[in-house]
Structure 1
Amino acid sequence: MKIELTASDGHRFSAWRAGPAEATKALVVVQEIFGVNRHMRHVCEGFANQGFAVICPALFDRAERDAELGYEQADVQRGLALRKQVSDEQVMLDIEAAAAALPAGAARGIIGYCWGGSIAWWGATRSRSFKAAVGYYGGGIAASRDEKPNCPVQLHFGAEDKGIPLTDVEAIRAAQPGVEIHVYPGAGHGFSCEERSSYSPADAMLAEQRSLAFLAKHLG
């Protein structure tokens, strides 16, 4: 269901909430550059079915309320333009507000995809709100790879991702030997999104299994 949250700077924004209110494990799910669209709601419901309480904040609300995009080239360009209107600092204010809105007492994690993959990494390094972080194909991780994580981190990359060269992945691995990194041969960017042309069901399933096992280990 759609809810409204307020960040510490007074910004009011929408979010998608799913899962049991009494859950003992909880996730902030972080959007791609396409808003909290049908795919992100599908991801949220998947984790809710696994027993997680989930909140997916609409990070584009600072630029445009309720932006939901598809996956055509025009959507990509619009998403990139919206992303530029939201600062990294503002993003983290909204992430903290989402974390605070999860059930009290639940073990909290963060998982993100695309832009959200980078933000999940920042959730580990720029926040102390989470006990685990999982990032999928975050293009901004390499640039901030020297930041120190405050919780265990698992990262997923496609070997054929045109936007994230394997040299970036290896640079992350070298800078963060304690981070669990998985690379999927033949997979491109967005391989876990069922609405993208790059969707790879087998890789998506394996990455999901690894993510759930990692979250179970660290969130209980």
Structure 2
Amino acid sequence: MTTNVTIATLDEQVMPAYRADPAGTPTAAVVVIQEIFGINAGIRRKCDALAEAGYLAIAPDLFWRMQPGIELDPDIEPEMQRALSIMGDFDQDAGIRDIEAAIRYARAATGGGKVGAVGYCLGGRLAYMTAARTDVDASVGYYAVGIDGLLGEKQAIAHPLMLHIAGDDGFVDKETQAAMHAGLDDHPKVTLHDYPGEDHGFATEFGKRRSDAAAIQADERTAAFFAEHLR
């Protein structure tokens, strides 16, 4: 079952979110952190797939403070440019607080069960920040941007974090990828996976960016990771 819900934020406002429930009673939940394109069809499909796997899935609309309901298609160039502009105006610190509110909502909805997070692009970066700044039980980031600038927070990562790195990422250059490995390879809670030759967005559900083989491999690793750490 899927529905649109609202979540009470930490500053006592109301944030919209997409919710997908499994057929049975969930014992764990996953917060799905959007790309720069909002809660579009691809993010909703990510939630639906998690629900099919038995999790309660919640995708908070993190752009709601600017404009609720943003939904963009990266394959349409004007919409891609709008998404890049929105990212520049997005308050990431406020976004993490809103993700924390979603984690609390999800934990309550599962009767105190474990909660994971998975994010893509901007959401991959936010998944890293979520691992460092909240009590989330496990986090996964796909093609996270700008992690080299966040390595100073790595000591705060207390629960498992997995990062999927696109080898030919147009937004994450080789130098940044090397810095991620240098800074995180020896972290006991962090696992990095590289996908040589793959570009940013390879695990999208729909559209031109998807690369089936790499997407399937990454998603299988994510599924095993959550099965280990959230069940």
Q: Does 1:18 align with 2:25?
A: no
Alignment of 1:46-195 (within 5 A): 46-71=49-74, 72-102=76-106, 103-128=110-135, 130-147=136-153, 148=155, 149-176=157-184, 177-178=186-187, 179-195=190-206
- Is contact 2:146-2:176 (8 Å) kept? no
Alignment of 1:36-55 (within 5 A): 36-55=39-58
Structure 1: distance between partners of 2:25 and 2:124: 27
CA RMSD of aligned residues (A): 1.3
Tell me how many residue pairs correspond in the alignment.
219
Describe the SS at the equivalent of 2:64.
Answer: helix
Q: Which residue number corresponds to residue 197 of structure 1?
A: 208
Deviations 1:32-80 (A, max 9, x none): 0000000100010011101111110000111111010011222122112
* 5+ residue gaps, structure 1: none
Q: What residue identity is the alignment partner of 2:213?
A: A
Describe the SS at the equivalent of 1:183.
Answer: strand
Deviations 1:120-155 (A, max 9, x none): 001100112x11110000112221023121211100
Q: Which residue number corresponds to residue 28 of structure 1?
A: 31
Cα offset, 1:82, TM superposition: 2.0
**Stretch moving more, 148-157 or 71-80:** 71-80
- Is contact 1:137-1:190 (8 Å) kept? yes
Cα offset, 1:83, TM superposition: 2.4
Structure 2: distance between partners of 1:27 and 1:77: 29
Structure 1: distance between partners of 2:192 and 2:229: 16
Structure 2: distance between partners of 1:108 and 1:207: 20
